[in-house]
Structures are given as structure tokens and as C-alpha cells.
Structure 1
Amino acid sequence: MAATHPYIPRVTLIFDFDKTLASDTIDAMCAVWGMEREEWEETYNTPLGDNWDGILKRGQALIDCGRDRGELLSRKFFDKAANEIALYDGVLDVKKHLSAVAKDILPEIEVELVILSSGYIEMIERTEVNDVFDRSWAGSFYFDADGNAVCMKRIIGHPEKARYIEAHAKGLALDVANSPQVNDPDFEEADMHVPLDQVVYIGDGLSDLDAFGFITNAGGLAVAINESARFDFAEEQLPDERVDNLAAPDFTEGSELLETLKQATRSAAARAALRRLSEGE
């Protein structure tokens, strides 16, 4: 057995979507229906009652709203709603900036950007991030032959985010039934797609706490995004869910957030460079 960790020249940054890379998708969908978010909550979400999975409930409330408002939750609807999404400044240049700082440390390294969201792939894939990010994992709907949403097909709950991160890092299949599967007794560290301590997770809210805790316990880095000077869910955080920095959602050159991501990327790239020195030992 090797005495050192394997050399894998890759850094992966995993981002939530809503309020991390862009404005809120539910707000965008409500805008197409000509209503405020609060009205949707009061008229469609709350009346469904208790004992639901929260993400399934939200999806059903959206389907019900589309039916009642005369504009079904359809592929055409998602085309319109995606136009209401505002990406945060500088998002589309993030990969360029982070790849540059990583390659200063290790020229052959790959910087990978991934989206992991409890929201909807039907929204994410219709925005410009789809052309910049390498992979997106998110909830999705099942559509009938007319292109109308019938029910939720995939949901990514808050605790499941940690399992998706682990499965992605291991390079395991995430598009199969009962995925993500993370336990494989024959799995070897050398088979990792990316070591977990070369992963940075970036999120904005309550849904990200499990992911923060998982990645920091695995030796990676966690960054929170918030408009204010404090994290809105600090009271709900456990000690191991604390993040390495909190910054406003501005990805432009010179911003605290971009500098934070550059430093995190340098840190992960330096770890890979260290392991290159010990390759085969």
C-alpha cells in the first residue's frame, strides 16, 4: 500500500444556484404568472398542509399554480421563467479567473465548476451558466407528451447534498436509480475523481449546512454567500458547519468573494502540487 495520498490534478468548486450564483428561481416563476412570491406561498404552498417533504411540496404547489393560473408548468414556461433569472455580476468569468490562479501553482491542473441545487435543472440549464459550468445536479420534473410537468422526478434534499458531493468526488454514477450510491467496499482512493480536500463548497442558506459540515470535516473548504455582513442561518449552524469566509454575491474582479474563491482554489491546488512531489511513494 502506498504511504502517500494519490496525486489527482483537479480542483472542484461546487456551488448552490439560487442566491449563490443567481436570483431566486421561485421568484422568477412567480413573475411569469404575474404574482408575488408571498401570494404563491399563501395560495398554493401553505394550503397543501403538513407532513410533506418540503421540496416535493414546493414542486406540487408550482404545478397547481400553473394549472390554476392558465399557464401550465411546461417546457415553454421554463423558457420564459429563465429569462427572469439574473445571474450575479461576474459569474460567467469565474472559471477563467480561478483556472488562471490554479495554473500558476500547477500548470496541468483542471479547475472544475459544478452546480448542486435543491432547485430545478429546467431553470439552471436555460441560463448562461450552462455554457460555463462543467456539470449541474438539481431536482427535475417529469413531463407528459405535451411537455407539461406532471410530478417531480428527482429531488435533492438538504442532507442529500453531502451524498452528492461524495459521489461526485468519487466519480460514481449519479444518473441511475437510487443514486447517489457512495458505499463501495472495493473503491480505492486512487480512483477518486477529485479528493474531497481539493473541493470547495459555496452556498447561501439553510439547505447548505449539511454540505458545509461534510466538506469541512473531509478537509475541504466552505464559503457562504449573503448580502448582509452576517450569515442568516448562523443560529442553526453546528460548530462543524462554520465556513471559511462569508462574502456578498459579487464575483467581479476585486470583490471579496472572488478573492475568497481564488485563495480557496490556490489552497486546493497547492495540496495537489504537494502530492505531485510524492507521486508513487
Structure 2
Amino acid sequence: MLATLIVTLREGVEAALIIGIILSYLHKIGLEREGRKVWLGTALATVLSIVGGFGVFLIMGTTTEGLFQQLLEGFAMLTAVIVLTYMVFWMHGGGKGMTASINAKVQAAVSSSSVTALAVLAFVSVLREGVETVLFLIGTTSSSTPGEALAGGLLGLIMAVVVGYVVFKSSRKVNIAAFFKWTSVLLLFMAAGMLSNAIGEFHEANLLPPIAKRIWDTSGFLSEDDFFGGIMMALFGYNSSPSLFQVISYVSYLAGTMYMFFRTPQKIHSTNGGTQHAE
């Protein structure tokens, strides 16, 4: 539940940031009335993402045990790691001029005088975040039941709406850059855990040799079934009895991504077109 909450909160705030940029630009050029089209596209993308996510979890939950399920979960988690890593570093670099790019698309939509252009822009922007969220949540199925995943996801979305509202309505400057910086670090830990779990699935499917099947066993001290152990597994990919291959993949991924993440300054473009730097 905790993992799904964090993922949906992070992606929800990112979607809110994009919608806020669109609405802010419409306000800047005196076309606030066009905002209803933006909200229409946002609502449609949100509903489609929720339905799609529910369908994916239903399929994952009803898949029979065996080789197919092991391969399905392993490759799903591996895909989630790749997409999550790309997203973290794309956002860390400021989204390659995200504000300017979105403003240009809004201007093009307004200039086309199309009734649906703004709705489509919002729809595509939010749906992309929704697809990313579904991919990430697939990677957390091993640490959450469908009910827990749904509860965490809904709570994360509600919190994202609140954070988004505060960011754009508060008269005080909100340090959104710090939020993205530290949630990115947490997501990289989660991705390392997903990678390790994917390796574990491939071990069970006999696709990868375990080398040393179990290099330690701390289940007597801290089990994944315990409350604290479950939190550690959801947030940091804790495994009480990992193989040597899993430990190597976890440490290598985390060391490499953390080095790349902290060696360059973070740039998060604000809604007024400026850039915030995280300290």
C-alpha cells in the first residue's frame, strides 16, 4: 500500500504540475474560459488510467502460478525499472524545457481554434503519467494485495490533488523542486528493489542462475511479513534471503543511479516559466 501511495502521489503531482502550467498560460493570455476543455481532457485521461490500472491488476492477480506468471512478473518489473529510471532523470534535468514546450503546445492549440485541441493536449499529458503509474504499480504487486494497492493508489491521488492545489493557490513559494528531488531518490530505491525482485522471478523460472542462492537469511530478525519488514520491502526493496545475483544487481543499480543523480544539479521548471534548483 505504501509503495503504491508514493508512486501515485509522485505521478499525480507531476500531472498536476503539467495541468497547472497549461492553466497558468491560459490565464496569462486571457483565455481562462478555455480551462473547461483542459479539465475535460484531464478527467477522461484519469478515468481511463484508473480503469486500465484496475484491469492490469485483475489480470496479474488471476494469472495462474507457474513459469508464465514468473516470467510475466519478472519482465513487468524490469520494464517498470527502465521506465521509472528514465522518468526520474528526465524530470531531474528539468523535463527538457517542459514549461516552454507545454506553453508552445497550448498556443498552437489556441491558434488552431479547435474545440478539442486543448482537451486532447491535457488528455495526452495526463494519460502519459497514468501509463507510467500503471507500469510502476505492476512492479509493486509482490508487496501489495490488489485491495491494498487500490487503497494506496486512491489515497496517493487524493494527496496529489491537495498538493497540486496548494502549489498553485498558495501565496507563498512552494519548494516543489525539493519534493521532486527526494521522491526521486525514494523511487530509485524502489526501482532497485524491483530489479532485485525481477532477478528473483527469473531465478524461479530458471532463466538466470542464482550463483549463490541465499547468501544470508534475516527472516528470523526481520521478515517481509512483519509490519516494519513490509515497509522496508515496499520502500527499499528489502529481501531477507537474497541471492548473490540479487545483491549485486541491487547495489550496482543503486550506486550507479545515485552517483548520476547527485553529480548534476536538479532543474525543475516552475509554472511561470522559471527554473527552481533544489539545494
Q: Relative contact order (C-alpha < 8 Å, sep 6+): which is higher?
A: 2
Is the helix fraction higher in 1 or 2?
A: 2
| Structure-1-length-normalised TM-score | 0.30
Is the strand fraction higher in 1 or 2?
A: 1
